[in-house]
Structure 1
Amino acid sequence: MAMTQHKIEEFIDLLREHWLKNQDKGLTQLLQRLADEAGCEQALSEISDDTLFYQLKMGETNKDEMIPGIAKDCEEDFKTALLRARGVIE
């Protein structure tokens, strides 16, 4: 339950920031715009929460930028990644 609550709070924070930048839009218009930007063609009611969440989180980043959750685990070279994965180095 705590993870769900955290996700809801993060979604609301992201939505708040986005909505403040687009105050001329109603909530459903804003959500539809996010869905359109994500490339969704189905009706708004058919789009997953994760799609909207991802678009809020990553929509304004450079398309070549790595996803933050993946970037934190990247290593510059394979040897370091292997040693870290085996617990040899921290």
Structure 2
Amino acid sequence: MACHRIEELIELLEPEWQKESDLNLLQFLSKLAKEAGFDGDLNNLSDEILIYHLKMRNADKNQAIPGIKKDYEDDFKTALLKARGIIK
């Protein structure tokens, strides 16, 4: 894992963990994994899952996903025409 990802994970993890300081780190990571829909072993939990879940954890459920937001169109017809390369 690259240093910037470790720093990003710690930056996202710290304020959320402080809200539930009664849990130890493994308990909190397990809780995050369950919230994210991950049901495997914790040693298989990827940093991508944690980072994405922590970014979206307190977001509005109707909010566009950050990676997809740049391609979001309100109008389905416009989105379809852009996807087909008819309009830019």
| Structure 2 counterpart of 1:12 | 10
Report the counterpart of residue 34 of structure 1 in structure 2.
32
Partner Cα separation in structure 1 for residue 32 and residue 43 of structure 2? 13
For 1:45-89, what per-residue CA distance to the aligned partner results, in whole angstroms no more than 9, with x for missing partners?
12222111111111222222111232244355638x643xxxxxx
Partner of 1:65: 63
- CA RMSD of the aligned region, Å? 2.4
Structure 1: unaligned runs, 5 residues or longer: 84-90
Q: 4+ runs of 1 displaced by more than 4 Å?
A: none
Query: Could you state the TM-score of these two structures normalised by the residue count of structure 2?
Result: 0.73
Contact 2:13 2:54 in 1 (8 A): yes
Q: Using the aligned pairs only, state the percent identity.
A: 45
Report the residue type matching 1:22 in the other structure.
E
Which of 18, 21, 38 is residue 19 of structure 2 equivalent to? 21
Using CA pairs under 8 Å that are at least 6 residues apart, name the structure with larger relative contact order, 1 or 2. 2
CA distance in 2, matches of 1:22, 1:66: 27
Deviates more, 1:70-79 or 1:7-16: 70-79
